[in-house]
Chain A
Amino acid sequence: EAQVTQNPRYLITVTGKKLTVTCSQNMNHEYMSWYRQDPGLGLRQIYYSMNVEVTDKGDVPEGYKVSRKEKRNFPLILESPSPNQTSLYFCASSLGGPWAQYFGPGTRLLVL
Chain B
Amino acid sequence: DQQVKQNSPSLSVQEGRISILNCDYTNSMFDYFLWYKKYPAEGPTFLISISSIKDKNEDGRFTVFLNKSAKHLSLHIVPSQPGDSAVYFCAAYTGNQFYFGTGTSLTVIP
A binding-site residues for B, Cβ under 8 Å = 4, 31, 33, 35, 40-45, 48, 50, 56, 58-59, 90, 92, 97-98, 100-106
B binding-site residues for A, Cβ under 8 Å = 2, 4, 6, 31-32, 34, 36, 41-46, 49, 51, 89, 91, 93, 96-103
A42-B43 in contact given A98-B49, A100-B34, A100-B49 (Cβ < 8 Å)? no
A90-B43 in contact given A42-B101, A101-B98 (Cβ < 8 Å)? yes
| Residue contacts A-B, CB under 8 angstroms, 17 given | A41-B102, A42-B2, A42-B100, A42-B101, A43-B100, A44-B100, A45-B98, A45-B99, A45-B100, A48-B97, A56-B96, A92-B43, A97-B93, A101-B98, A103-B44, A105-B41, A106-B43
Contact call A103/B45, Cβ cutoff below 8 A: yes
Determine which of A56, A100, A103 lies in contact with B43 in the assembled complex, contact meaning CB atoms within 8 Å. A103
